[in-house]
Structure 1
Amino acid sequence: MFNSNKKLINEDYVSGEITKMNEGDVDVVMNNQKEISEKLLNSSTLKKYTELGKIMIGMLQDYRKGIYSNVPWFTIAAIAFSLLYVLNPFDIIPDFIPGLGYIDDLAVLSFGLRFIESDLHNYLDWKLEEGASEVEA
């Protein structure tokens, strides 16, 4: 897929954009988590990412609260970039184009998840351990 500048949406593009993320971008995601969740849920193309989106937002919340710090910055930045890309209606392929508008969002989410899959698994394991220790206490 190409935009007007002929930038191909691929792993290199996504990885390069991730390296540009900062804490302010994480704040934008946190301030717009409801809109991001609704967009994932209401798009038939992105619907399968609804639960993963919740997990990603949960990881960001726990990271921001300081209760989950066993995560590299690249993973936090990948989550922020992926979710901000989904939030933006005027990305490479504007979302209002029927049948095509969410294809680039899907590609960015897929590439982003590929980079952070093991960190998401580690986070879920940590959540399970935290839940077990709370029950034991």
Structure 2
Amino acid sequence: MKLNRQKILDFFKKSESKASVIIKDKAQASQTIKEALGKAVTNKSDLDGVWSKMVLLFAVAKDYVNGDYTELPKRSIIAILGGLIYFLSPIDVVPDFIPVLGFVDDIFILNLVYKQVLKDLEKYKIWKDAQTNFIEDVERRGI
């Protein structure tokens, strides 16, 4: 099956448009992330090649929406949320209910988003590690 790359990208652009609206509503953005995470966990075996990337995308999106991490450029959070919205849609270029092939377009988009925001994700990982180290240090010292 040959995927129509342009058709997938056009669907993704629509998802990014939705993301630019959703990001203004913290509750709706949180709900979108929660729903996408639930779908991802349910379909983890189908997402094997992109799972670790998705976990990072979920984490940064959650921390951004919660206000814990605000160093993410707007274009990056919109791309990430757009990727999650695309992933959530059961009817996209390749409908998710098609065995084996159903997540091929989703994986393509999630990999694309990951590559687009890689530098921002690297900064986020440094920040996240620092948060974890700080908490462990405080617990160790009993402060």
Q: TM-score range by the shorter chain?
A: 0.7 to 0.9
Secondary structure of the residue aligned to 1:45 is: helix
Structure 2 match to 1:24 = 22
Structure 2 stretches lacking a partner, 5+ long: 139-143
Structure 1, 87-96 or 41-50: larger mean CA deviation: 41-50
TM-score by length of 2: 0.75
Amino acid at match of 1:39: K
State the aligned residue count: 132
Higher helix share: 2
Amino acid at match of 2:55: K
TM-score by length of 1: 0.78
Task: Confirm whether residue 48 of structure 1 aligns to residue 49 of structure 2.
Answer: yes
Distance in 2, matches of 1:29 and 1:48, equals 25
Q: What root-mean-square deviation, in Å, do the aligned CA atoms of Structure 1 and Structure 2 show?
A: 2.6
- How much has 1:111 moved relative to structure 2? 0.9
Distance in 2, matches of 1:50 and 1:84, equals 16
- How much has 1:120 moved relative to structure 2? 1.0
Structure 2 match to 1:102 = 103
Secondary structure of the residue aligned to 2:100 is: coil
- How much has 1:15 moved relative to structure 2? 7.4
Which deviations, in whole Å up to 9, do the C-alpha atoms of 1:2-29 show, x marking residues without a partner? Answer: 39xxx4335xx47744652315157545
Taking every aligned residue pair, what percent have the same amino acid on both sides? 27
